Amino acid sequence: MTEAIIEPELPIIDPHHHLWDLRPVIPAFPEPRHDFLEALVGAAYYTFDQLHADTQSGHNVVGTVFMECGAFYDGSRSEELKVVGEVEFVNGVAAQGASGLYGDYRPCAAIVGHADLTLGARAGEVLDALHAASHRFVGIRHAAAWDADPEVLGPPFHAPQGLYRDAAFREGFAELGKRGLTFDAWLLEPQLEDVLDLARAFPDQPIVLDHCGTPLGIASYRGKLPEHFDRWRHAVRSIAECQNVTVKLGGLAMAFCQLPDEGPAKGLGSETLAAMWRPYIETCIEAFGPSRSMFESNYPVDRWGASYPVLWNAFKRLVIGASDAEKRDLFAGTAARVYGLEHLLPG
């Protein structure tokens, strides 16, 4: 699907993408593979070169934020500290971009890594090691996605039930605030009360809710998006009352959501995608406001639904009536404030 770029001059900071090599990993999972894995087969190797090609395909992407994904852990380190390898790897990619050889945009200008917060206070040592690995390190994500139906997530994800309420986790979580670090939360729509409870317990800790809270349309939830929409909307509105939480607008093209329910990349246009995503995106913006909302690509995962240019066209269609100031926040300003990237934006 090829489309003319909408508002090509609008600055974008893409606050959520990955880099990885899953080619040795995917074949190890048993058949039949989960839909999420099938969606990744075409993106099992996502490199700096591919990120560069996507971000420079027409939209004005001035910078990006790398999101942890278990890539290139350092096997020579202890189990707790092997996560440092991912930040070291991404810092090298960021240095490539910062050289200016690839243009003015700055890939991986901020890095969100991973630390096991169930280590409690000892998680602080891991956070310090991550910071030492790169001055671009700004925070962590510790995913909590869980569901009683094992078919929803499949074998790649093994978070325990109620992780964000766990006492040891919260002891580790408190270490973030001591260091001024951000926290990205990924969990599923039925779990949203857990992140609400976490946000209320730590009102001064910046939390980013990933992927609109991940509404589910897969496995036992297939066909039930309309049935569960009001429950999702109520949870989102409650979380938005916590001023320490911002929301990422995207991730809806993941196989988990089934928006679209056919993939990967079946060639749907941005108008079709915008209409499909509108109820979720508009609800989030209404609840959080543009100053606490940011569009994300979630690439290459969301390649399931759209090419990079079409994805951002869909986002732009969704806010076509917004003011210039609102668009500035939604596409770059909020991400810049949350992840410390104000220097990337024009004065």
Whether 273 is covered by a domain: the verdict is yes
Q: Is residue 2 part of a domain?
A: no
Question: Does any domain span residue 274?
Answer: yes
pLDDT at 155: 66
- Give the whole-angstrom CA distance, residue 100 versus residue 134: 19
**Which pLDDT does position 267 carry in this prediction?**
79
Range of the structural domain that residue 329 is part of: 11-344
At 188 the three-state DSSP class reads coil
Residue tagged 């001035």 (tokens): 62
First-residue to last-residue Cα distance in the chain? 34
Contacts of 295 (CB under 8 A, 6+ apart): 12, 248, 249, 250, 312, 315, 330, 331
- Residue 257 has a pLDDT of 92
CA dist 255 and 302 (Å) reads 8
Rg (CA), the chain: 19
Nearest CA to 125 out of 72, 83, 74 is that of 83
Query: Which residues fall within 8 angstroms of residue 151, CB to CB, at 6 or more apart?
Result: 34, 218, 219, 220
Q: Which amino acid is at 257?
A: C
Sign of CA dihedral 243, 249, 253, 257: positive
Residue 3 falls inside a structural domain: no
Rounded to the nearest 10 degrees, the angle between the axes of helix 123-133 and helix 84-98 is 20
Residue 279 CB neighbour total at 10 angstroms = 16
Quick check: is 191 in a domain? yes
Six-digit token string for 324: 């210039």
CA distances from 262 to 1, 96, 243, 253, 303 (A): 15, 36, 36, 10, 12
Q: Using the structure block, give the residue that is written with the tokens 């096991």.
A: 116
Establish if 6 belongs to a structural domain: no
* Regions of the chain with pLDDT less than 50: none
Look at residue 98 and tell me if it is in a domain: yes
Q: Which of 75, 67, 74, 175 is CA-nearest to residue 125?
A: 175
User: What is the widest separation between alpha-carbon atoms in the chain?
Assistant: 52
CA distances from 133 to 114, 123, 127 (A): 13, 16, 10
pTM over 0.85: yes
The number of folded domains in the chain is 1
Report the pLDDT value the prediction gives residue 2, as an integer from 0 to 100. 83
1 assigned to some structural domain = no
User: In this structure, what CATH number is given to the domain that contains residue 190?
Assistant: 3.20.20.140
